[in-house]
């Protein structure tokens, strides 16, 4: 099992003290002879977005540092952690169902420690449900308490009381070890939380207000990632456009300046960012994408709706025209940009006319890919109590029309790559054909091409020979740099 660790020092005394429990757990396991081949195993189940995936890599780093060894089978784990999502009801139901299934594991092995974290249990009602209806869950921890996991594990191993952590404030905990899933691709969190309060979204309630990591800590982590072999780095945050690294040496460190500084680091790598709020996507950010060779020419700019009436009800704070002007600016600066978006179908009050405005925006914007979702009411958000909730059958019918249009436009957009040469990071072996590798270039589609496995982790110049809706196909170009 590859181990890709990134370690940095805890920058505040509270985090440093909490991380001391890592050693306490390790020593306890050693004392009980649970080391080497006898080491206990951990299993992490992750739901939701890239931020949760990044958090799970920190949980994995903590588990490994405590002396646990990874397994992909929950039934052979002594420590099971579930990292939950709250953005849609479906994700919560699925997590609860999976946690329910772990009762059998606990029945068979009462020593198993089960912890549940993430956005779902940051809502008190959900944490209470786990406390009352899932007595075999040892502890829950909210999104601001990842650094408390060692203390919670230690408490459970010592036979202490069950614990349900809801932080009073969300702070940034530096110094948590990270065990990355991929050697070549890396998430790099630059900020946490959100101040926007879109009326349908639970994120500001479960991840707190915006707080940015220091540019110094981010640059150190970026350097370590590159040295460890990362070739595709995605800067992560709920709204990376409002990254605020303060003023250093008279220079304001916004997302654009941060990207310039990361691009100035030695090494052959590609830089991405996710996610952007259209109202905050600045000219400076667009300029950074246009001027820096290392920045992937891919802009994810969620529109959510093409109707001004619905955008206002969503509290998105832009109009369809203002959004489209932003796209025009991006395309003027980066003509071949791959543009992707998120769209919500069936927001409360959405009429057929509103929905047609969304289809019209798709026709105009010509997205390379659209991530579309049927609106899911989230308790505690303003939209959940709005009148005129849309019946499921209407939302589903609209969704089908949206998907068909999205696929048609994506097909047409993909055709432009055929015959061209793209620089592709070979990520791994294709799932469908072991003779092929799969990778990513600037376009968001996976690119499949025949090449030797020794190229995995390297950039390969690929001539695109065919385009499908969901992928591109190609072959290594005669000239490789």
CB of 87 to ligand SF4, least distance (A): 8
Select 5 or 373, whichever has its Cβ closest to ligand SF4: 373
* Least distance from ligand SF4 to the Cβ atom of residue 307, Å: 17
Residue whose CB is less far from ligand SF4, 205 or 324: 205
Q: Which helix H or strand E contains 432, and what residues bound it? A: none
Least distance to ligand SF4, CB of residue 234, Å: 16
Distance CA 449, CA 430 (A): 9
In the complex, least distance from residue 319 CB atom to ligand SF4, rounded to whole angstroms = 16
Both tokens of residue 231? 């070739």
Provide the terminal-to-terminal Cα distance of the chain, rounded to the nearest Å.
31
Cα dist from 325 to 257, 299, 328, 359, 367, whole Å:
23, 14, 5, 17, 15
| Dihedral of the alpha carbons of 82, 85, 88, 93, in degrees to the nearest 10 | 20
Nearer to ligand SF4, 197 or 470 (CB): 197
If the CB atoms of residues 45 and 196 are measured against ligand SF4, the closer one turns out to be 196
Closest distance between ligand SF4 and the C-beta of residue 193, in Å?
Answer: 9
Beta carbon nearer to ligand SF4, 157 or 339: 339
Q: Which long-range contacts (CB under 8 A, 24 or more apart) does 216-224 make?
A: 217/8, 217/11, 217/174, 218/188, 218/190, 218/245, 218/258, 218/262, 219/261, 219/262, 219/265, 220/8, 221/6, 221/8, 221/188, 222/188, 222/262, 222/265, 223/265, 224/6, 224/8
Cβ of residue 444: shortest distance to ligand SF4, in angstroms? 19
Dihedral pair phi/psi, residue 337, rounded to 5°: -60, 145
Q: Which of 418, 427, 272 is nearest to 340 (CA)?
A: 272
Nearer to ligand SF4, 77 or 194 (CB): 194
Least Cβ distance, residue 208 to ligand SF4 (angstroms): 11
Decide whether 50 or 196 has the Cβ nearer to ligand SF4: 196
Kindly state the tokens that stand for 3. 């181990």
Closest CA to 216 of 206, 224, 208: 224
Task: Give me the residues that bind ligand SF4 (CB under 6 A), please.
Answer: 194, 196-198, 201, 203-204, 238-239, 277
59 vs 281, which CB is nearer to ligand SF4?
Answer: 281
Q: Which is nearer to ligand SF4, 42 or 273 (CB)?
A: 273
Residue pair 264/222 in contact (Cβ under 8 Å)? The answer is no
Smallest separation (angstroms) from ligand SF4 to the CB of 395:
18
Q: Taking the mean position of all CA atoms in its chain, how far away is CA 126?
A: 22
Site of tokens 């100035």:
264
Give the shortest CB-205-to-ligand SF4 separation in angstroms: 9
The pairing of beta strand 191-192 with beta strand 251-252 = unpaired
Inter-axis angle of helices 215-227 and 255-263, nearest 10 = 30
CA distance 362 to 292: 28
């Amino acid at each position: 099992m590859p181990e890709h660790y990134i370690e940095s020092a805890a920058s505040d005394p509270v985090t440093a003290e909490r991380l001391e429990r890592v050693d306490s757990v390790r020593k306890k396991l050693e004392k009980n002879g649970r080391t080497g081949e006898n080491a206990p195993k951990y299993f992490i189940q992750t739901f939701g977005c890239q931020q949760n995936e990044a958090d799970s890599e920190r949980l994995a780093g903590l588990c490994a540092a405590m002396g646990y060894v990874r397994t992909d089978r929950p039934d052979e784990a002594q420590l099971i952690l579930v990292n939950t999502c709250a953005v849609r009801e479906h994700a919560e139901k699925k997590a609860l169902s999976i946690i329910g299934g772990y009762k059998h594991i606990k029945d068979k092995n009462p020593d198993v420690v089960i912890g549940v974290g993430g956005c779902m249990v940051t809502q008190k009602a959900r944490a209470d449900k786990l406390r009352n209806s899932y007595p075999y869950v040892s502890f829950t921890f909210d999104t601001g308490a990842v650094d408390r996991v060692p203390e919670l594990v230690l408490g459970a191993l010592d036979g202490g009381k069950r614990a349900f952590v809801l932080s009073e404030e969300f702070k940034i905990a530096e110094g948590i070890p990270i065990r990355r899933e991929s050697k070549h691709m890396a998430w790099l969190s630059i900020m946490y939380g959100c101040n926007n309060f879109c009326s349908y979204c639970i994120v500001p309630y479960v991840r707190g207000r915006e707080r940015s990591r220091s540019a110094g800590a981010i640059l150190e982590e970026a350097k370590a990632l590159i040295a460890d072999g990362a070739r595709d780095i995605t800067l992560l945050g709920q709204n990376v456009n409002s990254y605020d690294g303060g003023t250093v040496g008279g220079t304001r460190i916004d997302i654009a300046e941060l990207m310039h500084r990361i691009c100035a680091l030695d090494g052959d790598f590609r830089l991405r960012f996710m996610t952007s709020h259209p109202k905050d996507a600045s000219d400076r950010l667009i300029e950074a994408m246009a001027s820096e060779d290392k920045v992937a020419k891919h802009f994810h700019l969620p529109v959510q709706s093409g109707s001004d009436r619905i955008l206002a009800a969503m509290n998105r704070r832009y109009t369809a025209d203002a959004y489209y002007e932003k796209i025009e600016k991006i395309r003027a600066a980066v003509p071949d940009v791959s543009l992707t978006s998120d769209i919500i179908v069936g927001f409360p009050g959405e009429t057929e006319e509103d929905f047609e405005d969304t289809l019209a925006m798709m026709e105009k914007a010509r997205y390379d890919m659209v991530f579309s979702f049927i609106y899911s009411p989230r308790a505690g958000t303003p939209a959940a109590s709005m009148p005129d909730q849309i019946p499921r059958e209407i939302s589903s019918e609209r969704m089908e029309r949206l998907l068909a249009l999205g696929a048609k436009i994506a097909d047409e957009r993909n055709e432009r790559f055929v015959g061209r040469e793209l620089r592709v990071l070979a990520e791994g072996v294709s799932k469908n054909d072991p003779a092929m590798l799969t990778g990513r270039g600037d376009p968001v589609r996976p690119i499949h091409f025949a090449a030797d496995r020794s190229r995995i982790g390297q950039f390969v110049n690929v001539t695109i020979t065919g385009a499908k809706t969901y992928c591109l196909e190609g072959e290594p170009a005669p000239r490789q740099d």
